[in-house]
Amino acid sequence: MTDRKPPSSWTLLSCTPILVMSVVAVTDIVAGPGVGFLPLVSLGPAFAGLVGGWRRTAWFGLAALVLCVALGLYDGLFDGRRGYTALASVAGVTGVGVAAAVMRSHREAELASMRSIAEVAQRVLLRPVPLTAGPLQAAVSYTSAVAEARIGGDLYEVVASPHGVRVIVGDVQGKGLAAVETAAVVLGAFREAAYDEADLSGLGERLERSVARELEGEKFVTAILAEIGTGHEAVFLNYGHPAPMIVRRDGTVDFPQPPSFALPLGLGEHGGEGPKPYRVGFAPGEQLLLYTDGVTEARDEGGRFYPVGERTHLLKGPDAHQALEALREDLAQHSVGPPHDDAAMLLLRYLGHEGGESVPGRRVNRDFGTVERTHVRE
């Protein structure tokens, strides 16, 4: 025997017109015409217009008129004005409810169209990262601070180039459409330059010039660039972004820091040297997590920041996507209330040796950017 599920709020609202008209009818019959409940029959079509279409509202309005006539004849109200006043009240409320339902359906259709267009634009801007690139397996998580949105001011991308797997994770100053527009500029420049530039410094300079042309005033973008080649090491270029986290095979955690502080993208014209690339060992069996400050600055009820370095046990699962999803859920449980900032995380796993290692459904070759699909027998 199974327990009954409680009715949803939508079901309760759908039943409200019937319930209201039933209560009015019973009360009018029991209390008599002197109470003056008859005009309240118009509440039926009024509630119907809140949750249903115009046809449903019209049917409830017709039912209310029939009920009003029946109760008026029963109470003898048509000998005077009271019966006709009740009929006029029901007809007027029904007409207004039908008009409101038609307007709401038009607005809902327009909103659905706008959402579909926005979803396409979001998929174009933040495309799904490749499952594998070279010897790496990639997984991404994105939580927008804006309700009903899938993207915001954070950005990420993974490109398998002739020079190695190149990655960017960034955070645009501000929120809203302006931040999305800036993120589009950075991602467009990165996708083009990642294939052309021979080294990471040249790639960073291309991004700096592109962002400087588009941004105005004191706007900026913090970002970290990474390049993973065949030498069991990762090269980083940090533009004022949180340090990456590397989980070693023995479970220890490193947060490699840049040799010197550098300004974010867009502020290079204010002076100061650009960032210097630095190399860090990154071998098979290890994991690299890039993230934005929406992760590390999430606070719990006591005001404590999220200790991402203490949550590496969540990344031990065999599947990178499930492991990152576990980390995202833990972050959501740590935070108090809705997120106050976008939070992006990009997890890269070094799958195997240079010669390649088989993973479920794929065989990864040593040449970067080459991924062959294989069939796995169940």
Residues 112 and 140 placed together within one structural domain of the fold: no
Whether residues 112 and 157 share a domain: the answer is no
- Going across the sheet that includes 278-281, the strands are 154-161, 164-172, 221-228, 233-239, 278-281
d(CA 157, CA 107): 35
Nearest residue to 253 via CA among 325, 322, 166, 316? 316
Q: What is the CATH number of the domain that holds 305?
A: 3.60.40.10
pLDDT of residue 128: 81
> Mind listing the pLDDT tens digit of every residue in the chain (378 residues)?
444 444 455 566 667 777 777 877 787 777 776 666 677 777 778 777 777 788 888 888 888 888 888 877 777 766 667 667 777 888 888 888 888 888 888 888 887 777 676 666 666 677 888 888 888 999 999 887 765 555 667 899 999 998 899 999 999 887 767 778 888 889 999 999 999 898 999 999 999 988 888 776 667 899 999 999 888 999 999 999 999 999 999 899 999 999 888 899 888 766 667 899 999 999 999 999 999 999 999 988 888 999 999 999 999 888 999 999 999 999 999 987 776 778 899 999 998 644 344 343 343 333 333 333 323 333
Token representation of residue 166: 């190149």
Alpha carbon of residue 32 to chain centroid: 56
Alpha carbon dihedral 222, 224, 225, 230, in 10-degree steps, equals: 180
According to DSSP, residue 314 is labeled G
Residues 204 and 66 in one domain: no
* Burial of residue 282, with CB atoms counted within 10 A of its CB: 0-12 exposed, 13-18 middle, 19 or more buried: buried
Return the closest-CA partner of residue 206 out of 150, 166, 177.
166
Report how far residue 136's alpha carbon sits from residue 117's, in angstroms, rounded to the nearest whole number: 33
CA neighbor of 183 nearest in space, from 114, 117, 127? 127
Please check whether residues 143 and 115 belong to one and the same domain. Answer: no
224 with 308, same domain? yes
Q: What is the pLDDT of residue 358?
A: 38
Rg, C-alpha atoms of the chain: 31
How far apart (Å, rounded) are the C-alpha atoms in residues 133 and 256? Answer: 23
Question: Within this chain, do residues 182 and 84 fall inside the same structural domain, yes or no?
Answer: no
Inside any domain, residue 1? no
Nearest Cα neighbor of 183 from 211, 216, 158, 150 is 211
Q: Which amino acid, 94?
A: T
Regarding whether 58 and 14 lie in a shared domain, the answer is: yes
pTM of the model: 0.68
Contact between 272 and 215 (Cβ < 8 Å): no
Distance of CA 55 to the CA centre of its chain: 35
C-alpha 245, offset from chain centre: 24
Q: Per the domain annotation, does 29 fall within a domain?
A: yes
Q: How buried is 247 (Cβ within 10 angstroms: 0-12 exposed, 13-18 middle, 19+ buried)?
A: buried
Predicted local confidence at residue 125, as pLDDT = 73
For residues 178 and 103, membership in a common domain is answered with no
- C-alpha 155: how far from its chain's center? 13
The range of the structural domain enclosing residue 49 comes to 9-120
Spatial strand order of the sheet with 245-247 comes to 132-133, 136-143, 343-350, 287-291, 245-247, 253-254
Q: Which residues contact 318 (CB under 8 A, 6 or more apart)?
A: none
Give, in order, the Cα–Cα distances in Å from 349 to each of 2, 27, 75, 258: 44, 70, 79, 22
Name residue 169's beta-bridge partners.
156, 224
Looking at residue 370, its pLDDT comes to 34
What are the tokens at 161? Answer: 């180039």
Among 120, 153, 185, identify where a domain stops.
120
Does any domain span residue 68? yes
Q: Are residues 348 and 214 in the same domain?
A: yes
Residues 110 and 141 in one domain: no
End position of a domain, from candidates 120, 149, 175:
120
Tally the domains of the chain.
2
Q: What is d(CA 94, CA 86) in angstroms, rounded to the nearest whole number?
A: 12
| Final residue before a domain boundary, out of 120, 144, 161 | 120
Q: Which candidate, 368, 313, 329, places its Cα nearest to that of 162?
A: 368
* 29, amino acid identity: I
* 4 within domain boundaries: no
